[in-house]
Amino acid sequence: MKVSEVMNRNVTFCSPGTDLAAVAALMWQSDCGVIPVIGGERLEGILTDRDVCIALGTRNVCAHMVSAGEVASQEVFTCAPDDDVHQALKTMRSHKVRRVPVLNGGGKVVGMLSLNEVVLRAHKTARKPADITYDDVVNTMKAICEHRAEVEAPIVAEEKALAAAAR
């Protein structure tokens, strides 16, 4: 099955200069959790609802004072409309992302492949080899949801201990 058969073609965009209040409104109006940031015709980044929340939760400013370009992730993993959907799921698993912009040969965003769309197309068992199965979905979600390496835990504990000792 090709990505073009599953992707959402109704993609809402913003520019790097769009403020986060407007981005949040776009997400609400479009019932989506991700907005590609487009400069001219070029994909410059991607902004998730989580990015918006963390950006605003860690700054002492109003949403209209922060631009999408300041917050958007510039490391964007993409796929093409003619890609096999299983290859796109592999990209999602390996990069721990729930959504990937779909770019045409010219680099223009023509859709968004999200786990929501994939889940809606999944079958308990494959009727044909190209079908998306429940196992495909669960394995992708499991890979995305895995916690960061346990190596980080001792570092965080050490930082907390140092902060407590400094008080």
pLDDT recorded at residue 81 = 97
**pLDDT: which is higher, 163 or 100:** 100
3-class SS string, 88-156: HHHHHHHHCCCEEEEECCCCCEEEEEEHHHHHHHCECCCCCCCCCEHHHHHHHHHHHHCCCCCCHHHHH
Q: What is the pLDDT of residue 164?
A: 61
In this model, does residue 51 exceed pLDDT 70?
Answer: yes
pLDDT value at position 59? 92
pLDDT(130) > 60? yes
| CB-based contact 136:86 (threshold 8 Å) | yes
What is the per-residue pLDDT for 158? 59
What pLDDT is stored for residue 3 in this prediction? Answer: 95
Give me the pLDDT at residue 122, please.
Answer: 81
Rounded mean pLDDT, 29-46: 93
pLDDT tens string 11-26:
999 999 999 999 999 9
Check residues 100 and 126 and name the one with the higher pLDDT. 100
Structure tokens at 126: 């494959």
Confidence of residue 150 (pLDDT cuts 50, 70, 90): very low
Query: 139 is in which domain, residue-wise?
Result: 3-166
Q: Which residues are 71's β-sheet partners?
A: none
CATH code for the domain in which residue 13 is found: 3.10.580.10
Cα 32 to Cα 8: distance, rounded to the nearest angstrom: 11
Number of domains present in the structure of the chain: 1
